[in-house]
Structures are given as C-alpha cells and as structure tokens.
Amino acid sequence: MSAETPSPTSGDRGGPLAGRLVVDLSRALAGPHAGMMLGDLGARVIKVETPGTGDDTRGWGPPFVGPEEDRQSTYFLSCNRNKESIALDLKSDDGRDTLTELLRRADVVVENFRPGVLDRLGFSTEAMLELNAGLVILSITGFGHDGPEARRSGYDQIVQGEAGLMSLTGPDPDHPQRVGVPIADLLSGMYGAYGAVAALLERERTGKGQVVRTSLLASIIGVHAFQGTRATVAGEVPQAQGNHHPSIAPYGLFTCRGGRVQISVGSEKLWATFAETFGLAADEPRFATNADRVRNREQLIGVVEDAFSAYQAEPLLRKLEEAGIPAGKVRTLDEVYAWDQVRSQGLLLDVEHALLGTIALPGPPLRFFDGAAETTPTTHAAPPLLDGDGEAIRAWLAEPAPGA
C-alpha cells in the first residue's frame, strides 16, 4: 500500500485522502463518479483507458466542445475531474505489466466490469490482493455480483425501471418517468466511494485491504426511504402522483398568477402559520391535521392555488419567506449556476483544460474545516486528455516504489 504517492503532474492538492493512490479502471459513469469523488477528497486518481478510444463517455454527445479535429464530450468532462489518464491495452503484456505496477502501489482500485471480465484478464480479486494485501477493491455492477441475474448488463434507465424508481416518478401511475440525471449510476458511485473510504479506515486497524461491492440496483433500493417502508411494512404499493408529497400536505409545486412556486408545510405549527397568512381556516375539518390534508389533497391544492392566484411568483415567495414558510422556485440550470448562493458554496469551479482553456465545472459537494479555518481543497485539475499523463506515469513507475 502507498503512504505517499506524489503526482508527477498535478502535485499534492491536500484533502483527507492526500497521499492515497486510486487506480480507476472504470468507464461510463458509476465508477468514474466514484473515482472523481475520491479525487475531490485529495487522492491521486490514475484513470486507465482503452487506447485510441478511451472511456466510452468520450464519444457520448452532442454536445461536444473544442477544436473540430479533437472534439471533447461534455459528458466526459462531468465525471473525470482531478484525474490523470494513461492508455493501456490490458490484453497486451505491456498493458498488464503496467497495470500490475500500478496495483502494487495503489490504495484503491475502482472497476465496473461485468463479473468475470477482470478474471479473464488475469486480475481476479485473489490476484490483485496477492499483489497488494492492503488494496481496497471497489467493484460496481448493474444488478449485483451474484444471484440469478448477476450477469445482466446494467444501464441506468433500465435499472431505474427495474428497481421501482420510475413507478414513483411522473405525473400519475400511467406515465412512469425516469429521473432527469442518471441517478442509479450517480448513487452507486457515491455509495461506492463511501464504502471505499470506510474500507481504508478499517485498513488502519487491520492492515488489510478488502473488496467493496455495490450495484446500480442496490443504490436505488438504498434510497427508497419512506416509499420502501410503505411497501414492506404498511403493505401499500406507492405510485407516482406528480409534484406533491405522498405523506405531507401541502407540500409540492403550486401555480400562482403567471408562475409556480414550491412550498413545504411540514408541521402543524407551520400549517397554522400558513393558514393565517393566506386567510384560510386552519381547523377546518377537511384540513385540521396532516392526515386530513393528505386524504383531501386535491381539495387542498385547489384552496391553496385559489389563495395564490392573487400573487405573482416573486411577491408570493417574499410573503412566504416573511411568514417563515419554506418555499422556493424551480430554476433552470443556467439560473442555478448564476446563483450567488451556489457560487458561495464552491459549487462552480474554474479549471484549466489542456485543450479547452478555462472551463467551468460543477464542483464537489463537501467542504472541510479544522475548527479554525476551511481546509477544503481549492485546487482542482481539469479532466485529462486521453493518455495525457501516460509518459509521466510510466516514468514514475520506473522509479523504486515507496518502501521498496
């Protein structure tokens, strides 16, 4: 295992995982997102790509940006910041030898091949742990590593459907709807990174690495939350019902004069305040308790929207804020990235790309403080060009490994 693995290209950016080496063998989104999260935490992440074509997402578009002769996919840019790239043919002796040297020095390896693929390439779990007993192996699949459907290919929208998420999303039960981002991929990457960090922490106690497994299926089941216990405990089958909460009312998207606002009236105290603010009878039998309001949701929506019809969206939002009612608007992404609050949280990064120059990327969602000051890494590397760091990585591997 590596104690210090300084990057030959980007230097130590600091962060909780500074000095740790991650070898990212994954492609598409779930694994790369996990690798990017570990990179955001300060780990050095070396992305191993297929020569000539690279990660699948390098070809996913439009949109593509950059010079005509070397167009760059914005999809690839979304999930590969803070990484270096080396192109290796893992079916060749040279590729396998180079990967072997990387694994000997690595703390974490990330892979999302179908079960059995790495075994056929000579890098089974047993082989990798024999090379490096302290290695944490993060493995992400579509439907799980075992069980009757383990060999199925996992694609986000298919899993959203298979894992029930689409049945909960959309205007009504007859129109199932996918979430607007590849949420199964993203969640499995997040769960995977969380598991890898936990395994690194346990290694501090045991000195041994281990395998961390998750899947797109598991990631969606893992966020069923109260909808899951409606099914498993109450015996109800939740269904899509648009932009209103199934268990709290009023909570959702409401029309006003010339626009829409969202509100969340999540307690009886808030309901009393809301009713008083808009001239409603808080103790009316149809709406006296949250359970009453949920049962009579459609009537309640009509009453609320009738009250809101006197207001344009912005004055209505101000009135709700003054009353202490949680509320908000529905922003487009250009509005989100122009929002001062988003920028204040470090959620938009300017990085220098080798081909594109200065580009803005959505930033990492975590911040760190030591009690006196913020210690969040503020230096970030742009997503790499294919094999852009290959020569430097090979030169580094030619040097004696730490502790050798």
Please state, in angstroms and rounded to a whole number, the distance separating the CA atoms of residues 309 and 297.
Answer: 18
Single-letter amino acid code for the residue at 325: I
Phi, psi (degrees; rounded to nearest 5) at 39: -65, -40
Token couple for 65: 């940006």
- List the 259-264 sheet strands across, edge first: 251-256, 259-264, 327-328
Pairing between strand 259-264 and 251-256?
antiparallel
3-state percent helix, strand, coil for the chain, nearest multiple of 5: 40, 15, 45
Annotated catalytic residue: which of 24, 156, 185, 389? 185
Q: Are 231 and 238 in contact (CB under 8 A)?
A: yes
Q: Looking at residue 231, what DSSP letter applies?
A: H
Least Cα distance to 381 among 82, 166, 102, 153 occurs for 82
What are the CA-CA distances from residue 64 to residues 82, 221, 384 (Å)?
Answer: 20, 34, 15
- Other CB atoms within 10 A of residue 105 CB: 21
Calculate the dihedral angle through the C-alpha atoms of 7, 10, 16, 22, rounding to the nearest 10 degrees: -50
Say whether 370 is catalytic: no
Calculate the dihedral angle through the C-alpha atoms of 287, 292, 296, 298, rounding to the nearest 10 degrees: 70
Q: Are 62 and 398 in contact (CB under 8 A)?
A: no
Please state, in angstroms and rounded to a whole number, the distance separating the CA atoms of residues 7 and 19.
Answer: 9
Token couple for 94: 């040279």
Question: Which residues are annotated as catalytic?
Answer: 185
